[in-house]
Amino acid sequence: MNPYAQLRRGPSLSTTGLALFAALLLSASLTGCGCNGDPRGGGYLCGREGLSSGTYQQRVDTRRQAVENEQDENMRKQQDTSDLQMQNDELNNQADQISKDLLKLEKETAAMQKKIAVASATSSASKKELARLEREADQIKQQAVLAQDTPGTDAERQQELARLQQRYKELQKQILLLTGGI
């Protein structure tokens, strides 16, 4: 036999070497190569296992659900913000209306004071009683101005407005009775 003949054929794999290689490949695939479900690591065999076992799909589904949950939460918060803004606008409108009503009452009271002054000059009604009504009208006017500038809840301001309006109506009736409708 020619000693160079073996070199020309190349090295031969023995059945023992082939069996050893197959055993290593089989043990690597059975142990999972230390796969942790993260597609960024683990190499080809872990990638195959992640695809075939559904681990990667579960990971995608979990993340997709987390994104949907965050979107739902954002939508809920936007709705809450919108609702709060509407309530704020409504409260501001109520506060503005109360201020307008107080200003109107102040002007009406000032007009009433002028009527009392005219009635004092031309009426035979008691000047002392007319002076008392004028002082009361002045008090209502001052309290209306004060209520406009006083901080408080809208309910408190609304209550004060109602009280002043009631006093104004009573004063108006007294003036009509005293002056005979002048």
Residue 176: name the closest of 111, 119, 106 by CA. Answer: 119
Q: Which two tokens stand for residue 89?
A: 């606008």
Q: Please, are residues 102 and 147 in contact by the beta-carbon 8 Å criterion?
A: yes
53 SS3 class: helix
Q: Which two tokens stand for residue 94?
A: 């109520």
pTM of the model: 0.53
* pLDDT at 28 (0 to 100): 56
* Tens-level pLDDT at each residue, the chain (182 residues): 555 555 555 455 566 666 666 666 655 555 545 677 676 777 777 777 877 888 888 888 999 999 999 999 999 999 999 999 999 999 889 888 888 888 888 888 888 888 777 777 776 667 788 888 888 988 988 888 888 887 778 888 888 888 888 998 998 888 888 776 65
Exposed / middle / buried, residue 33 (Cβ in 10 Å: 0-12, 13-18, 19+): middle
